[in-house]
Amino acid sequence: MATSETSVAEARDALVERLFEAVLGMTDVYTVYMGERLGIYEALAEGNELEAEIAAATGTNRRYLREWLEQQAVTGFIVVDDASKPVDERRYRLPDGYAEVLVERDNPSYMTAFARMMAGIVRPLPQVLEAFRTGDGVPYADYDPDFLEGQGEMNRVQFINFLASDWMPALPDVHERLQAGGRVADVACGTGWSTIALARAYPNAEVHGLDLDEASIALARENATREAMDIPFEVRDAADPGLRGRYDLVTCFEAVHDMARPVESLRGMRSLLAEGGVLLIADERVADRFTAPGDEVERVMYGFSVFHCLAVGLEEQPSAATGTAMRAETLREYAEEAGFTGFEVLPIENDFWRFYRLEG
């Protein structure tokens, strides 16, 4: 059927509008990043309202600060009591409820770290473009601390709020065993917040954090120290023969899809399990099969894959080149090839992650 000129024009105009809205969204993300990095949201939450007060609290230049405050008021992230007043007399504040999103890092609604993560994810963009041409990967270490720490902080919100109360009770036998003691290995622990949450949930258990990225382990150790937690974090491969058969629970949160050789990595995790041990995996909650167009979760996951996950997974060769959109059936195939005989999708509700129990 021929497409009418009117419908073509409507489709074109809708795309123009969508991309313009995306530009506005990008502006929001990066100005939120600035507000978090400069401590401006925190200063506002503490009751500083006048430009001079906020500048003194944050150590920022007033002219730059004024531009940011006006931009934030224009975009609706903060409010100004009377825009017609002289600049020195205008009072700015966060609307009710916004501190939960922009300042309170323990709150499930906290989103500022997401902006930091997105600022960091595009820093190696020239290398990613070149990787598209060559087929090579981009080293994980080339993604700077904004990405590393931003992702860690976003995941931290989930770990501290839901790991002990929602996720682990979905493995009742493991939950009960660890309450009495036992050993846990948190593989690909990143900045350590999952390990810290596990150690808090099971004070009688011995919890270890393992990761191959030295920068992540350094941050994990710093985070544990700040939290007054004595947790061994090691730059160590899960396939290390010295670790075999030691753990009642092995966890791997949001990492399998990044692994160049996931079957080999899963085989290494399987070797860590003591008799009757369980591997708990959380990975992206993508659709069961590729469909287009996709929903918002699918869209954001493919965005992560284009900017980061596929490139990181291809840095080491040979590579399975999984990408972020690792569907449940793909993980099942990897698990079976790695020697697991038990594979279960757990009934845990989460907008972004799907949870798996592997045994055998």
SS3 77: coil
How far is C-alpha 164 from the chain's CA centre?
Answer: 18
What is the reported pLDDT for 6?
85
Task: Please state the φ and ψ torsions of residue 48, each to the nearest 5 degrees.
Answer: -75, 125
Structural domain boundaries in the chain = 5-104, 117-359
> How far is Cα 283 from Cα 257, in angstroms, rounded to an integer?
7
CA neighbours within 13 Å on the CB side: how many for 165?
A: 7
**Tokens for 28?**
């929001």
For the structural domain made of 5-104, what CATH number should be given?
1.10.10.10
Which residue type sits at 61? N
H-type helices in the chain, by residue range? 5-37, 40-45, 51-58, 62-75, 98-102, 112-121, 125-134, 145-158, 172-180, 193-201, 214-226, 262-272, 296-304, 310-314, 328-337
Q: Please state, in angstroms and rounded to a whole number, the distance separating the CA atoms of residues 112 and 53.
A: 22
Please tell me the distance from the alpha carbon of residue 16 to that of residue 6, in angstroms, as a whole number.
Answer: 15
CB half-sphere exposure, 138, CA atoms < 13 A: 23
Q: For the purposes of burial, counting CB atoms within 10 Å of the CB of 23, is it exposed (0-12), middle (13-18) or buried (19 or more)?
A: exposed
- 3-state SS class at 34: helix
| C-alpha span between 355 and 163 (Å, rounded) | 11
Supply the DSSP string of 183-252, one letter for each residue: EEEEET-TTSHHHHHHHHH-TTSEEEEEES-HHHHHHHHHHHHHTT----EEE--TT-GGGTT-EEEEEE
Q: CA-CA distance, 212 to 147, in Å (whole number)?
A: 17
Cross-strand partners of 44: none
pLDDT value of position 335: 98
Indicate the pTM of the whole model.
Answer: 0.92
What's at 348, amino acid-wise? I
pLDDT confidence of residue 284: 97
CB 286 within 8 Å of CB 322: no
| Range 101-105, long-range pairs (CB < 8 A, 24+ positions) | 102/32, 102/35, 102/36, 102/41, 102/45, 102/77, 103/41, 103/42, 103/45, 105/153, 105/156, 105/157
Q: In b/e form, how buried is each residue of 54-64, taking b as 16+ CB within 10 angstroms?
A: bbebbebeeee
Domains 5-104 and 117-359 share a fold: no
Q: Domain 117-359 in CATH: superfamily?
A: Vaccinia Virus protein VP39 (3.40.50.150)
Which pair of tokens denotes residue 80? 């100004």
Which pLDDT does position 212 carry in this prediction? 94
Alpha carbons 118 and 94: distance in angstroms, whole number: 23
How would you write the pLDDT of the chain (360 residues) with one tens digit per residue? 557 888 999 999 999 999 999 999 999 999 999 999 999 999 999 999 999 999 999 999 999 999 999 999 999 999 999 999 999 999 999 999 999 999 999 999 999 999 999 999 999 999 999 999 999 999 999 999 999 999 999 999 999 999 999 999 999 999 999 999 999 999 999 999 999 999 999 999 999 999 999 999 999 999 999 999 999 999 999 989 999 999 999 999 999 999 999 999 999 999 999 999 999 999 999 999 999 999 999 999 999 999 999 999 999 999 999 999 999 999 999 999 999 999 999 999 999 999 999 998
How far apart are alpha carbons 32 and 72 in whole angstroms? 9
